Every structure is written in structure tokens, then in C-alpha cells.
């Protein structure tokens, strides 16, 4: 039997770089908001202990695929013989800053924790998730989160209901190269969680990306005519928030033919939040 599970995208409502550790990792502050735009992860259980990716993901070898790595990581805690076939329906762009690959991996962890009856706690799953990448734990955390450290220190935070117009410039932005840029601001003063509001802060990576990728700058400029437009993550996707679905869809209807985008609603919890405690 095949099971299908959503892997929702995220937006960084702001993203500050507040320092750098001795090992080179950057210290961040951000608010992660899940949205109802999602890849779909199809899982079919096997009893021969094999983890098999079905289909091809261009540019991503099977052994490097985060969904395959996530399943193999969880196998160490699963009953003998636990295996799975994994198939992805991808709609979230690669290199877009929406966390698609990280979310796919988190959905595999959450779903197989349930299907294999591993029953690890959320905290334990988050620790495993960090081995796969800095963004994976927030999807396991599964709530709107105020993030610190390298993105691994998470606290739940309430934000107002919102609809988002998200534009997807036709470029892939390499995260590592943006964080390595010499002109990147790395000393933004730390925010306190208490006074945070949805319009607070900025994205410290945005000026670097805008200078290197004119398409991102073009999409930001257009969307900025309708509200405060901001880049998510290390780009390339940009977004603006609106109070109602009608307001967001009205903006999307005006999108030039040379641009692509979508409307999504903010989620307070991951669709699979109940799969672990």
C-alpha cells in the first residue's frame, strides 16, 4: 500500500546573521512560517530492509537524496527488515529558499516514525534531523518557530493569520556561496522574541543575492509595489504577506507573463504534527 504525505514549504519572515562560530557556521535569528504549498512524498513499505528511491531527481544522486538519507537514518531505530520505496512529486523549486528538500526529508522522518512504529519523540527526531541539514529540524518541530543558533534552537511563536504571494524567479541560488560572500552582514544586533512582529527585521542575505541575481531584484521590485516584499532564506523566492486570500489573489492576477508565482496560506502546524509527541 502506498501512502502520500505533504511536505510543506517554509518562509523566513526575517533572517538575521548575528555572528559566526569558530567552526565557520553562522549564527542566525529567524522566524520560520510553514505554508500550504507542498511537495508530496509517496511511501510504500517493504520488509526486506531496502530503501529505494523511485523515479529520478535531476542533479541529485540517490545516495545524496535527503529523503533516502532520512529513511536510512531512522532505520537504526526501526524493527528488523523495515524498508521503504520513496517517490517524490516535486513542485517546490530547487534553490528557492522554500526548504523543499529539507521538508521532504522531515516528512519522511515523521511519516516513517509513524508507519514503522518507531515512536521516537519529537525532540529525538529533531536531533536526528540536524544530521541531515540545518533546516530539517524546523519541519519536524512543525510549528511557527523563532529560530536561533544555526537554526536548531527553536521556540514556538504566534504570528497573525496571513496569505502570501510567493514569486519564483527562474534562478537557483547556492546557499553556501551567499553565506561565504565577503560583503555579507554578520553583526546584526540580536532581537528579543517578545517584541517580534511579522514586519520586524529584514533578510541579511537579500542585498548579496540582489547584487548577484538581477532576476531576484526584478521580482522584488515588482512585488514591492503591493506591500513589503522580502526574500526567503538564501533565495531565490520572494514573498509579501496579505490579510486576506482575495487581496493576495488580486495581486497574483496582475503578475506579468514573464514571472511565475503562487498564493499560499500560512500554517500554524505541520500537517503531520500529530505523528510524534
Active site residues: 10, 135
Structure-derived torsion over alpha carbons of residues 244, 248, 249, 252, reported in degrees to the nearest 10: 180
Give the Cα separation of 64 and 194 in Å (integer): 39
Q: Distance (Å, rounded) from C-alpha 205 to C-alpha 201?
A: 12
> Is the distance from CB of 215 to CB of 236 less than 8 angstroms?
yes
- Please state whether 169 falls in left (phi above 0), alpha (psi between -120 and 50) or beta: beta
Residues 250 and 226 sit within 8 Å (Cβ to Cβ): no
Count CA atoms within 13 Å of residue 226 on its CB side: 23
Q: Show the 3-state SS of 123-160.
A: HHHHHHHHCCCCCHHHHHHCECEEEECCCCEEEECCCC
Q: Which residues contact 206 (CB under 8 A, 6 or more apart)?
A: 220, 230, 231, 235
Amino acid at each position: 500500500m502506498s501512502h502520500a504525505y505533504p511536505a510543506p514549504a517554509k518562509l523566513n519572515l526575517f533572517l538575521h546573521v548575528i555572528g559566526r562560530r569558530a567552526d565557520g557556521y553562522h549564527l542566525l535569528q529567524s522566524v520560520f512560517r510553514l505554508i500550504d504549498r507542498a511537495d508530496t512524498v509517496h511511501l510504500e513499505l517493504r520488509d526486506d530492509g531496502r530503501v529505494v528511491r523511485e523515479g529520478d531527481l535531476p542533479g541529485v544522486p540517490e545516495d545524496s537524496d535527503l529523503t533516502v538519507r532520512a529513511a536510512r537514518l531512522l532505520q537504526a531505530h526501526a524493527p528488523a527488515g523495515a524498508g521503504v520505496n520513496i517517490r517524490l512529486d516535486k513542485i517546490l523549486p530547487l534553490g528557492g529558499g522554500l526548504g523543499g528538500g529539507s521538508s521532504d526529508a522531515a516528512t519522511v522522518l515523521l511519516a516513517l516514525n509513524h508507519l514503522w512504529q518507531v515512536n521516537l519523540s519529537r525532540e529525538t527526531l529533531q536531533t536526528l534531523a540536524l544530521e541531515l541539514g540545518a533546516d530539517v529540524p524546523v519541519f519536524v518541530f512543525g510549528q511557527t518557530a523563532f529560530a536561533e543558533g544555526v537554526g536548531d534552537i527553536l521556540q514556538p511563536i504566534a504570528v497573525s493569520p496571513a496569505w502570501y504571494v510567493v514569486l519564483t524567479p527562474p534562478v537557483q541560488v547556492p546557499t553556501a556561496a551567499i553565506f561565504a560572500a565577503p560583503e555579507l552582514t554578520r553583526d546584526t544586533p540580536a532581537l528579543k522574541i517578545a517584541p517580534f512582529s511579522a514586519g520586524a527585521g529584514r533578510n541579511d542575505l537579500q542585498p548579496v543575492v540582489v547584487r548577484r541575481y538581477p532576476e531576484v531584484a526584478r521580482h522584488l521590485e515588482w512585488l514591492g509595489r503591493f506591500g513589503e516584499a522580502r526574500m526567503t532564506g538564501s533565495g531565490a523566492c520572494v514573498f509579501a504577506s496579505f490579510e486576506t486570500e482575495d487581496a493576495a489573489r488580486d495581486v497574483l492576477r496582475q503578475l506579468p507573463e514573464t514571472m511565475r508565482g503562487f498564493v499560499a496560506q500560512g500554517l500554524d502546524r505541520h500537517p503531520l504534527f500529530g505523528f510524534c509527541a
